[in-house]
Amino acid sequence: MNLKKKLLLSFTAITIIPLMCMTVFAYTQYVHIINRHITTIADNEFKNLSFKVRESYDSIRQTLSFLTFYSADNNAVLSTLRNLKNAEIISDSDMYHASENIKTACQSAMYNQNYIKGIYIFTQERSVFGHARNADEGIASGYDPINDDWYQKTRALNGSIYISPLDVYPMFGGNYECFFVSHLIRDADRDFQHLGVIVVEYSPEMFDLSKETALSDITNITLTNTDNQSVIYTNMKESHPDIIPTKENSTVEPVFQTPFELSVTIDYASLKAEYSNTLLLLILLAALCLLCIFSLTMRIARDFITPIEKLSNCMVKQQMVHVELPAKYENRKDEIGILYRQYDKMMAEINDFIKTEYKNKLIILDTQMKALEARINSHFLFNTLESINSMAELAEQEQISIMSMSLGHMFRYAIKTDSELVTIEDELNHVRDYMIIQRIRCDDKFRFVENVPEELYGQKILKLIFQPVVENSLIHGLEYGNCGDEISLSARVSQDMLLIVISDNGKGISQDRLTKLRGRLQEETTFTELGHREKESIGLKNIQSRVELYYGKGYGLSINSVEREGTKIEIRVPIFPGSRAGEGKIV
């Protein structure tokens, strides 16, 4: 084992292994603390929600008690119903006063209870008293509760509170969701004689627990009435319906002194994610320490071990050929420099002896191998295409002549410009050359229509953004003339912006593919370095990226298409009214 490996193993045993052990220990302890903290948070959440449920239930009980025994000038609901019960003849005046007394009590009860929608009292004589918060609400006309299930259950409870399920009740004359509580009014002074049934209608917000938790986004809450197994409140639809309840993340317990059962499920994964940054910081800190230790080890190896290794290698190689020692080590003032200088002195003496004895036998060998590069000169390609054009003209092959000449123009345009900006006229000429070649190839199955005003010909535009779009329309839209017969290119100025529209009457794009294509164009443009060009130089995304990188955000392509009718692509670029003449001209 060499000296460097021994040093690395020693540093690993002394520093890296203890550091890793400390990191694992700290990570484990922190995870334990997080779990304990999350458990405490979950317990507090459940206690807060239970307290809210118990508080709401106590409010219901207090409201019922208040309604029964509230008295304004000795006209309590209980005494009012008692007077009606004991009267031999009930006049209209008696009914009016009873109605007013009960209405006053209802209004007083509703004063500080915003969740009460209405309070109603059904007497033994089937009279109905009460008050609704809204004028268009109240007990439905002609409603008789005698045969209803809730009325029978309320009477059977004999003084206990009945709480209905959360539902839509036509008895209240509206099409909205609510729940109600009912209570049998009994006269304790007269052998608990039944005087009537009091009904309090509540909005669902009475048991809305979403405002009582700070973790509503990651918590599923369900409040169930155990008397009828109905759900009074749940936030499953608004929060996380995909949270799977387990023994660890769920708590289901009855609420003390109420008929309710509260179920709370917390998404521990989302809660733990809030602490993941600290764990990540801990891991990064440990990794940074390891990196520093490794860098220190490599620095020591470079300053002390590497010179010794190089001196050892020089001594081995010196047997066959003279090896010159690195000057940077010889100039050192420490023991490493002394070793190098003494070894160099010793080898100089040996070399002098060898030169003296065998100076006529030394042969100096010097070989050098050079690689030749050959590159194709662009003028050679131009001249070749011109030769093909001339031969085609001599052979009266007009199509070959036209294609070779157009291809030469396209090649010259693609590689030789002074700037990224060219005129619209140059760009149109490039498209025309391309369409000439494609129309010959496709036997004139399609036509190309231009609608560009001549006053826009001198406007500067980013190079090579027309032809790829036209090519895309030809290949994918018309399928080389098999699914349509026209490609049009138009340009106009709108609000200091140049709009170029390229459309076809081909097969169009399906809605799914159009959505994906638009999403692809909206992706963030990546840019590696100034002047760098990717090998893939065509495609709608490439054009979008080049336009955004050159002109900035807000410019680029937009696509509209109807399947089996065609596709329209609009290119938006700014106008450069002060462009210099000749800029971007092909040479």
The pLDDT tens digits for 415-438 are: 765 677 889 999 999 899 888 888
Q: What is residue 231's three-state secondary structure?
A: strand
pLDDT band for 581, please (50, 70, 90 cuts): very low
* Interstrand relation of 260-266 and 421-423 (parallel, antiparallel or unpaired): unpaired
DSSP state of 15: I
Q: Is 421 helix (H, G, I), strand (E, B) or coil?
A: strand
Q: Could you identify the residue written with the tokens 């100089």?
A: 348
Q: Confidence band (pLDDT; 50, 70, 90) for 5?
A: low
Query: Is-contact 34 272, C-beta < 8 A?
Result: yes
pLDDT one-digit tens code per residue, 290-307 = 788 777 777 776 666 677
- Pairing assessment for the beta strands 497-504 and 566-574 based on DSSP bridges: antiparallel
Predicted confidence band of residue 504 (pLDDT cuts 50, 70, 90): very high
* Alpha carbon distance 542, 471 (integer Å): 14
Q: Tell me what pLDDT residue 70 has.
A: 62
Residues 251 and 245: beta-carbon distance below 8 Å: no
3-state secondary structure of 142: coil
Which residues are 461's β-sheet partners? 422
> In Å, how far are 27, 204, 377, 512 from 383, measured between CA atoms?
71, 86, 10, 48
Within 10 A of 400 (CB to CB), how many other CB atoms are there?
A: 16
Per-residue confidence (pLDDT) for residue 481, from 0 to 100: 82
Residues in CB range of 246: below 8 A, 6 or more apart: none
Task: Map tokens 């005046």 to a residue.
Answer: 93
Using an 8 Å Cβ cutoff, are 287 and 303 in contact?
A: no
- Virtual torsion, Cα 83, 86, 91, 96, nearest 10 deg: 20
What average pLDDT does the structure give for the chain? 77
**Tokens coding 167:** 């539902």
**Please, are residues 425 and 457 in contact by the beta-carbon 8 Å criterion?**
yes
Instruction: Please give the Cα distance from 218 to 240 (Å, whole number).
Output: 6
Beta partners for residue 186, in sequence order: 194
Please give the DSSP secondary-structure letter assigned to residue 586: B
For 93-152, the pLDDT digits (tens) are 878 887 888 888 888 888 878 889 999 988 877 788 888 888 778 888 888 888 889 999
Helix segments in 331-377, DSSP class H: 335-358
Q: Determine the Cα–Cα distance for residues 503 and 567; give it in Å rounded to an integer.
A: 6
All domains in the chain, ordered by first residue = 3-55+208-273 (no CATH), 70-207 (3.30.450.20), 276-350 (no CATH), 417-574 (3.30.565.10)
**Whole-angstrom distance, CA of residue 448 vs CA of residue 477:** 13
Q: Three-class SS of residue 356?
A: helix
User: Minimal CA–CA distance to 220: which of 207, 204, 236, 238?
Assistant: 236
pLDDT score of 334:
67
Q: Angle at the Cα of 503 (from 527 to 555), degrees rounded to 5?
A: 30
Q: How confident is the model at residue 489 (pLDDT cuts 50, 70, 90)?
A: very high
d(C-alpha 583, C-alpha 577), whole Å: 13
Above 60 in pLDDT, residue 527? no
Q: In the predicted model, what is the mean pLDDT of residues 333-360?
A: 68
- Enumerate residues 6+ apart whose C-beta is below 8 A from 259: 161, 163, 225, 226, 227
pLDDT value, residue 500: 94
Distance CA 268, CA 578 (A): 62
Q: Residue 120 in contact with residue 102, Cβ under 8 Å?
A: no
φ, ψ of residue 419 in degrees (nearest 5): -155, 165
Cα→Cα distances 22→28, 35, 281, 297, 305, Å: 10, 20, 15, 20, 29
